[in-house]
Chains A and B, each alone.
Chain A
Amino acid sequence: MSEIIFKPCSLKEMWEEMPNLPESRKYMAGGTDIVTVENAGFPSSECWIDISDIPELATVKEEKDHVFIGAGVKLNDLETYPFIKKYCPALLAAVHDFASPSLRNMATLGGNAGNASPCADGVCALVSLEAAIVLRKGNAERKMPLRDFFTGPKRTKLEKDELIYGFEIPKKENLLGQYFKLGPRAFFGISKVAVALSAAMEGNKVKYASVAIASVAPVPLYAAKTSEYLTGKELTEDTILKAADIARGEVSPITDARSEADYRRDMSGILLERALRSFLN
């Protein structure tokens, strides 16, 4: 059995070559998650398709009603676009908490979603921004809300050969974003729990809020009840505490090597409180 590595320069080339490749094939973008898995001794694939050089996947553009971020965009490059700052503040806040500067030069948002870890920082921020994920296979394209894309830890709705093409983030005016994470260190650790909050405010009134919490459920969790409760409320100390309580009820954390369930549950509330207080005038 000979292994091959296929490095296409465009998506068109890739789909054309696909039928000639071995059946067991996988995509690779930054490679950072794949290498750690390989080091741990997991079985590998007969053919790797290295998609890191495909320009279509590395585009970031502003459309009429949404912002498109290609699946292959390196995280460090996101900071260079002014419209990302305007429409995806929670994502930009998460980028600073995302691994280290050198890893951010390698890692991509597509890989972050494809790896489907419940603790993914980039994905958690995107879920709070109500992003949609765009999947492609040949000329067929389908879209779904990112929060529905995951079916469990390391499991997604991706079909064989289907490629994560990018993310569409709906434009919302005056959006504020916050990302708070607790890890083993102040920087550069896998989260014990992380909260992403996207909100639009009118004075101290919450016009719109959307909360996502990482590492507290089998998938990056969209806190639907908390988001619903917050929307339309006057932001007072009482509302903040009530919202934190609702968030604690919504999560279903486990105890594992990184942290304990009770701590995670409690901290989901505390981090949400901190995020909300930062929006108080």
Chain B
Amino acid sequence: MKNEEIIHADEDGFFTIALNVNGELGHMIVSRNETLVEALRHYGWKGTKKGCDTGDCGSCTVLFNNKPVLGCMMPAVAAHGGNITTIEGLGTVRNPHPIQQAFVEAGAVQCGFCIPGMILSTKALLDKNPEPSEADIRKALDGNLCRCTGYVTQVQAVRIAAKKVKAMKKQQEKLAAKELAAEKRKAARKTAKKAAKKNK
């Protein structure tokens, strides 16, 4: 078990916290009343949007230890030692994540402000439940408000995303199996060669 920790504020009232954002381990200097979304945006992760600031709209959703949380409701200091995934951690413009692709294909993005939160909520849903029903989808996106659409296209997007993620996983498994088989063959050839040498 790790030891207890006391984080002291420096003379100006700032705390230094350590956290892992999208696989990059680093430090952030934050003030006491800074929220996680403010700290993230301050450090350049601007994909996370700040909407209502009262925990109502869900546009600041990020994954904290693989679970969706609201960035505007979490004091940055409380995130100390955690793993955070923002929308930047999923994919890029040139190499989008299947969920991002699905949202584009379904036409679920209008102004786009709610979409980073929606996509991260979707990721958490599909990690837990690869074949969600419409009710599951609506329940998972419950806390992400969208003022442009009527949520119809987004539900569709999640359906497409589920298929894409499944296909991606299957392909990854296939590739892994192929590699494993190749390695096994290599090893078998090696032992066969050794045996042949011995016989000589």
Q: Give A residues with C-beta under 8 Å from B.
A: 2-10, 13-14, 17, 28, 30-32, 34-36, 38-39, 44, 48, 50, 52, 76, 96, 99-103, 105-106, 187-188
Contact = CB atoms under 8 A, between A and B. Distances in A.
A44 B77 CA distance: 15
26 contacts: A2-B9, A2-B13, A3-B32, A4-B6, A5-B15, A5-B32, A5-B77, A7-B80, A9-B3, A14-B4, A28-B75, A31-B74, A32-B74, A34-B75, A35-B73, A35-B75, A36-B73, A38-B33, A50-B78, A100-B58, A100-B143, A100-B144, A102-B69, A105-B64, A188-B142, A188-B143
B7 A5 contact: yes
A100 B142 contact: yes
A31 B75 CA distance: 7
Given A100-B142, A102-B61, A9 B15 contact: no
Interface of B: 1-11, 13, 15, 32-33, 35, 53-56, 58, 61, 64, 67-70, 72-75, 77-78, 80, 121, 124, 139-140, 142-144
Nearest to B62: A102
Nearest to A190: B56
Nearest to A8: B4
Nearest to A34: B75
B142 A187 contact: yes
A7 B32 CA distance: 14
Contact of A4 (B3, B7, B74): B7
A74 B78 CA distance: 15
A35 B74 contact: yes
A192 B35 CA distance: 28
| Interface of A, helix, strand, loop or mixed by DSSP | mixed
B8 A9 contact: no
Given A7-B7, A32-B55, A102-B121, 19 more contacts: A2-B8, A2-B13, A3-B13, A5-B77, A9-B2, A10-B1, A13-B4, A28-B75, A30-B73, A31-B73, A31-B74, A35-B73, A39-B54, A100-B55, A100-B70, A100-B143, A101-B68, A103-B55, A188-B143
A143 B69 CA distance: 32
A120 to B, nearest CB: 15
Contact of B33 (A44, A76, A100): A44
A119 B7 CA distance: 34
Nearest to B56: A188
Contacts of A32: 55, 70, 73-74
Nearest to B68: A102
Contacts of A4: 6-9
* Most-contacted residue by chain A among B8, B74, B75, B78 (CB, 10 A): B78
B32 A44 contact: yes
Contacts of B35: 35
B121 to A, nearest CB: 7
Contacts of B3: 9
Nearest to A35: B73
Contacts of B77: 5, 48, 50
A24 to B, nearest CB: 13
Contacts of B67: 76, 105
B80 A102 contact: no
Contact of A106 (B4, B6, B53, B69): B69
B54 A36 contact: yes
B86 to A, nearest CB: 14
**Those 9 A-B pairs whose CB atoms lie nearest each other, nearest first:** A100-B143, A102-B68, A105-B67, A32-B73, A3-B9, A7-B5, A5-B7, A13-B4, A8-B4
Contacts of B73: 30-32, 35-36, 103, 106
Contacts of A188: 56, 142-143
Contact of B78 (A13, A14, A28, A105): A28
Contact of A35 (B6, B13, B72, B80): B72
Contacts of B68: 101-102, 105
